[in-house]
Amino acid sequence: MTAPLTPPPPPNERSSYQGGPVPPPVGAHAVGAAPGAPHDHHGEQDGPGMLTEVRQAAVTVVALALSGVLLGVLWWKLAPSVPLVGDLVDDRWIVYLKESESEDTVGVDGTFTLLALAFGALSALVVFLLRRRGGVPLVVALGVGGLLGSLLAWRVGVWLGPAQDVIAHAKDVGKGVTFSAPLKLSAKGALLAWSVAALVVHLGLTGLFGPRDPEPDPWPGPQRYPAGPYGEKSA
């Protein structure tokens, strides 16, 4: 007869454990993590990244606002002139349109709108090429910068254009002499054309050529568990 086999020690005794290091319990990395240990993906903070985005957005706003000076100069150069005529009636000066059915006034607004749309599309393209990933601060900067640029362009064009005092201008040129009316933006909605064009074009470029997030694997592999103290797979 053979002697009975010695039963294996219970698995809860530390002295008989011959496997690898004991895996930490779930949540141990969040409670007992050493100072300075790297955080996991979900605990990662984006403070420096957000500060960088805000800084880039501020630069974008300033650049777009300053480019409004160029838009104002182009509006002053390309907008059609509206002819006016001064007349003296009962010792009073009156000013009226030389051609009452002229569409030059509409052309002034249309020129500003078309230029603003072009500036909006160009600014969106430049911003996208410089920073493809975008972000909420950058999108807000496009809208705010476009509006500020339009406001500055409007005031610059009015300042460069003919004199605002049409009565004094009529007196200077004389009775019955044609002179140009001051630049005037009748359709104030044109001030939003730059911002709208920039946001739409940037959204389209980001959707077509922006970076794509990796798609999750629809068929994940079998989950593996660490080996138990006797080699078997523990559930």
Taking alpha carbons only, the member of 130, 114, 110, 111 closest to residue 202 is 130
Q: Are 194 and 112 in contact (CB under 8 A)?
A: no
pLDDT tens track for 73-120: 999 999 998 888 888 787 788 887 887 777 788 899 999 999 999 999
Q: Cα separation of 7 and 32, whole Å?
A: 37
Number of domains in the chain: 1
Is residue 223 in some structural domain? Answer: no
Is residue 196 in some structural domain? Answer: yes
pLDDT at position 150 is 97
Is residue 167 in some structural domain? Answer: no
Q: Cα separation of 229 and 233, whole Å?
A: 9
Is residue 137 in some structural domain? Answer: yes
Q: Cα separation of 34 and 24, whole Å?
A: 13
Is residue 157 in some structural domain? Answer: yes
Mean of the pLDDT values across residues 143-158?
96
Is residue 69 in some structural domain? Answer: yes
Q: Cα separation of 47 and 138, whole Å?
A: 16
Convert the chain into a string of H (helix), E (strand) and C (coil). Answer: CCCCCCCCCCCCCHHHCCCCCCCCCCCHHHHCCCCCCCCCCCCCCCHHHHHHHHHHHHHHHHHHHHHHHHHHHHHHHHCCCCEEEEEEECCEEEEEECCCCCCHHHHHHHHHHHHHHHHHHHHHHHHHHHCCCCCHHHHHHHHHHHHHHHHHHHHHHHHHCCCCCHHHHHHHHCCCCEEECCCCCCCHHHHHHHHHHHHHHHHHHHHHHCCCCCCCCCCCCCCCCCECCCCCECC
Is residue 150 in some structural domain? Answer: yes
pLDDT at position 36 is 45
pLDDT at position 86 is 85
Taking alpha carbons only, the member of 216, 32, 178 closest to residue 95 is 178
Q: Is 180 a residue whose pLDDT tops 70?
A: yes
Q: Between these two residues, 9 and 84, which has the higher pLDDT value?
A: 84
Which residues form the domain of 69? Answer: 64-76+106-161+184-210
pLDDT tens track for 33-79: 444 444 444 444 444 478 888 998 999 999 999 999 999 999 999 99
Q: Cα separation of 108 and 114, whole Å?
A: 10
Mean of the pLDDT values across residues 150-164?
94
Is residue 231 in some structural domain? Answer: no
pLDDT at position 168 is 85
